[in-house]
Each structure stands twice: as structure tokens, then as C-alpha cells.
Chains A and B, each alone.
Chain A
Amino acid sequence: MSLQRLTLGFVPLLDCAPLVVAQERGFAAAEGLDLELIRENSWANIRDRVIVGHFQAAHMLGPMPIASALGIGHLTVPMIAPMALGSAGNAITVSMVLWSDLEAAGAHLGASPAHQGAALKHVVDERRRRGLDPLTLAMVYPFSCHNYELRYWLCACGIDPDLDVLLVVIPPPFMVDALRAGQIDGFCAGEPWNSLAVERSVGCIVTSTAEIWNRSPEKVLGMRADWAESHTRETRGLVRALCAAAHWCDRPERHAELAQLLSRPQYVGESAEILLRGIAGRMLLAPGTEPKPVPDFLTYAAHAANDPQPRHALWFYEQMVRWGQVPASPAAAAAARSAYRPDLYRTSLAGTAFQIIDNGGERDDPSGFFDTRSS
């Protein structure tokens, strides 16, 4: 039987791994699928090329299908996420200059987000008192986990992300150069960009999203709702193939192989050694230091990381409301919630060995957030 060809878009980041592994290690073929993977330069391209049908599905930021469902920033084309591609994996990196200011204010490598945030608050206040420009911090896209996580952390540390600092969007490939040139003082991005900043002696990693919100939602598999509806067999096969690939990616004995695979130029590129840091959660936080383990830095499958949980969709929606991207309404909340499709995830995996863990109702377990943890 010949394989059915599907074209999927991805952005060169560590969490595109399930797509790459599904194709390269036979999980797609086992479902009768042949994946053509197209590397893209921008999230806007990913969205547009899914809308016009160049891609049947894509590696997407978790909030993107929700933004599409709500018609913000773009026309309303119903998109859905029948599975998530993992959890966490972003970090916050600052320039060497800002890091030395933070150290002077009490920060130290590997300290908790609350501790680092208190130092940042001190630096921000001090700059204002001395009449200096506010710090400029970059993230990757307005509807991104990065934007909301960075804002969450700043706010929880007493820093107003709209008044006390300047938040800008910079495409990840330009991040390290912008940091070196002093155009920005820090950024929140996925890997390998943080590790590259450290490797090139341009920045230090202050904290990670795994520490700000343990097991936080991240990328999803996104597709048009009408495509999923008219291609149930392909959708289910794709979910199964990507789940199997995500479990493969999570196994520590596969990490070195995965780093090699992703380091190919058509995928993420960059050296396997740099990629391995994020994959294995052993991060060099500052130039010339020893790797430090960051538990659950990036999870591909464990802890129900592939389950597209409506509570996560609702959290993203709430952040959109919180930061003025969309007005609150019950209809909008319902639309956001229904962009995530745990029902499709479950029907796809029915009869397979994958376990479905029902770990929570509508609301988030607050213990995952750094500022609500009891410890």
C-alpha cells in the first residue's frame, strides 16, 4: 500500500522534534503516512500556509489556534489542536551587562524565578530613579506562550510589562545578534536560542518556563477544523504517529540521537552539542560554567504533555484578555476552549497502548506556578 503524503510546516526549534522523528524513524509510515516537512521562517507564514492549504497541519504556538478561532490579528478561520507537542522548553536570557546588574542586585545562577525577579525589580526601579530608559525585552510573537509567560513572571515580581519595560517582538534567528548589539536587554525564546546566546558569550540564562510554570503548555499540532473533519483517518493517524514519536523523544537513551537528527540543516541546524542541552535539560546558564540540570526543562510526552487540555486553552485566552488583545465574553471563552480538542486526541489513541491521564478539570492546578507553590 502506498503512503499518503501530508505536508507539515515547522519552525526550527527543539519542540518540532516529534514531526521530524515521526517521519525519520518510521512512526508516520506505520500509520500509512509520508510527511513532507517544510521549514518556515515565521509563525505568520505557518498560520497563512495552513489557512490556504499549503500545509495540512503544522507545529504551532499553543495560543495560535485560539487567536484564529477568535479572529484576532487575522481573519477568523477555525483552527484546532488535536494534540499538544510537549510542555515547557523556553527560557529567559539577558545580556551580560544586565546580568551583572542583576547579580549586583542579588541574583545568582540557577536561583528561583521569584529570587531572580526580585533582583530584576530592583534593577528596573533603580533605572527609573536614575532616569534611564526602561529595559527592552523581546519575545517571539504576540500570541505566544513566551509572551504570556514572560508577562506572568514580570507581573508576579511586581514589574508591569507594559509600563516598566518595553516588550518587543524579534524573530528568534535575530535574537542573539540583537542582544549582542544592545538593541535588547533580554529575551524569552525556545531552544536553541538561549544556549546559543550563552555559547557565544552574549548572555546568561536567568530562568526557564519550566521553573516559572512547571509542565506549562507549549506547542501544538494545529490544523484547519474543516480539514480535520473531512480527513478523520489522516488526523487520527497523524496524532498516533506524533504521540509515538514524542514518547521516543522523551527517552534519555535517545537524546543524543535526537540531537544529531535535529542538527541536520533542513531541520533545526546548529550543533548537536548545543541542541542536546535543551533536549536533556542540562543547561549551561552562563558562559564558561558547568551544565546545570533543569528538571522537566522540555518534556515531549511525559505527564500528559500531548493531551490538548481545555484548561490550557482557557489560560491562554485569559492572558489575551488580561493584556488587552481581546475583550472578554462568554462566547470568546467558549470559542477558545473548543480550539483544543481532547476528544480527537482520545478517539485517535483509542485501542493503542498510550495511556490517557485525566489530570484535572477546567481549572489549572495552581501549584505549577512559581508564585503559588508552597515550597
Chain B
Amino acid sequence: MEFLRDPITFIGNWLEGLLLGWNIAPAAATVIVTLLGAFILGTFSLALVVFTIWMERKLYARIQDRLGPNRVGPWGILQTFPDMVKIFTKEYITPDGADKAVYNLAPILTVSAVILLWAVIPFAPTIVGSEINVGILYIVAVGALGTLGIIMAGWSSNNKYALLGAFRTVSQMVSYEVPMVLALLVPVLLGRTMGVNSLVEAQSVWFIVLSPLAAFLFFLSAQAEIGRAPFDLLEAESELVAGYQTEYSGLKFGMFYVGEFLHAFTVSALMATLFLGGWRGPWAEQWPMLGVAYFFVKTFIVYFFVIVLRITMPRLRIDQMLNFNWKLLTPIALVLLIGTALVEKTLQSFGLDSLGLRTIINLGMNLLIIWGTIEILRRSAHTERQQVTEPRPVAMAPNTPASD
């Protein structure tokens, strides 16, 4: 019974007891169990990709009126395994003039930056990789390592398309980090903590209800961070061959591919954790395994929307992508952050700290900002339309016709 309630903690405790029984120093036993846990967590998150690749290909196919993978296993669910074997047998090519060490390090760095994110994601109240009190900042900092991996790949390939892809990556990732960090600060203000698990515990009302705008901003800027359509400018096939991964082949390309899919899933997990209550649900406190189930259900719902967005949207142009960030998302995020801080602090100082009141006022403020934004956008679109429809002379004679 105890095992069924929370098998992970149970096995961890049992293993630690076993190691102590073998007369191993307590510190060393902790290190061994922690290392083992990290190894299992990393392997588990990578193994998830086997399933998510199939799910994404199947959805992709259905929306394009195809069948998708349907040969290996029921509904083609095992299709990823033959693909894996294929990619293992391919030749590793290191292009002439490439910077070998950096070139081979780049895919490893990109994948590990994504796996590192799983260290702070709580699966259940008791199943957390590491509960650090700066969890939110950790998420942002690890994201920066992924950017670094892509730059290294683009530069070391000795290929102009790869380098152009890397240039675009930085302008995109560094820009979209700004609204993402600002949107992540809103849950920090609402939950009054920076630890990820404590943020989940603070969500007796989900933060997507308290601040739907922050959830929306995080969702959009996270799409840009993972670099998929409509923000896939870093590997735009019709312009840059394959962007930063042009020169990669075999397993090295496979690592970028896995990294991208895992990043999309990880971002969905973060969204579920920070805005949809994570493992919260009926009886999750008593039965941690139930919390794990809630967590994955929520994550897959978010992931479904991530895939649908990818499949149905055309690619943005680079100026549209940057304008969208700096002229729309960042100002909204700044206004929202200041507004949330004012509302929370005012309510706290007047002692009106009840959850119901906080929810209503925060939600009202969010709706007000959304309404204001739509109104401003509508006005500017109106003036733009007027400028376009103004009658203009078709052809004009030059002011001073050049005689003689």
C-alpha cells in the first residue's frame, strides 16, 4: 500500500537504507541516490520523446488529411524505434574547416540544456528533482545555455547558412526572453515565492485564472524560445536550408531533433506547472501518484495546443517577429507586471488578503489590460486603413520639367 501511494520516494528511501546497511557513509549514500535519481529523470525525459514524436507526427498527418505513421505497432506507435535505428546507422560527417571540438559539443549542450529544466519540475508533492528557492530564475538561466549551443553549432559548421541561422537565433531568443521573464515574474508575485514546487502549492486557484494574460504571454514567448512555427526563422527551410543544423548528420542531427521535441514538451510542462496548477487535483496530497497523473494530463493538453499552433500557422517574417515582440508583447508584459505588483501590494497593505477578492481584482485588471490593448490595436488599424484608402494621384508630372 505504501509502495503504491508513492513508489519513487519509497524506492529512494529503501535504496538509501540498503546503502547505509552496507556501511557506506551517509553523505556518500545521499550522493549515490541523488546521482541515480538524476540519471533516471534524464533518461525518462528523453524516453518521453519517443512517444511525443509519434503523437506529433500523427496529429500533423491528420490535420493535413494524411494517415501518418501506421506500419510499426498498433496505430504506428512504434514508428520512432525504426527511425532511431536508422539514425544510429547513418554516417557522421564533420565538414571540412569545421571547428571540431565546438562542432561536436554543440548538440550535447543543446540537449542537456533542455534536460536540465526537468530538475526543478515537480511531478507530485513529494517527487521533485530539486526544490531550489530560485527555481524560476534557474529556468531562465538554463534557457540561455540552449541559445549558446545553437550559436556554437552555427558558428563551428563553417557554413554561411548555418551562421545566418545562428544570427537569427540570437535576435529571436534574446528578444523573446524579455516578455518571458516578465511573464514568469507574475506567478512569482502571485505566489510570493520563487521555488517551483511552492508555486504549485500556492495555486489553490490556478494562476491562469488570476492572470490569464501572463499565461498567454508565457505561452507565446515560449513558442519563440523553442523556435518552432510560426517562429521557426532559425531553421527556415525555404530561406536557410536548415539553419544552424545544416551541416549536421546522423546522431548529431538526431540530438538537435530530440532536443527540439523535448523542449516543446518541457515548455508545456512548465506551462502546466506554473499556470495550470501542476500536480494539484483532488486527493493529490494523499496519493502522490495521482498528482503525477494530473501533471501529465495537463501537460499533454498544453502540448496538444503547442502542436496545433505549429501545424496551422505560417512562418512570420523577421521584422514581423521582432515588431510583435518589442511593440506588443514587451509593453503588455511591463504593464501587467506593474499592475499585478500594485494590486497585490495594495490589497496586502489594506489587509484585504482573501483569496476570492485577490482573484476577482487580478482577473479584472487582466481583462482591463486586454480590452485596452485590443482598443489601441483597433484604432491603429483604423488609421492605417484610412491612410491606405486615401485617394492618391496615379501619376504626377515632375515639378520642373527639364526643358533644354
A, B from the same assembly: no
Interface residues of A (CB under 8 A from B): none
Residues of B bordering A, CB below 8 Å: none
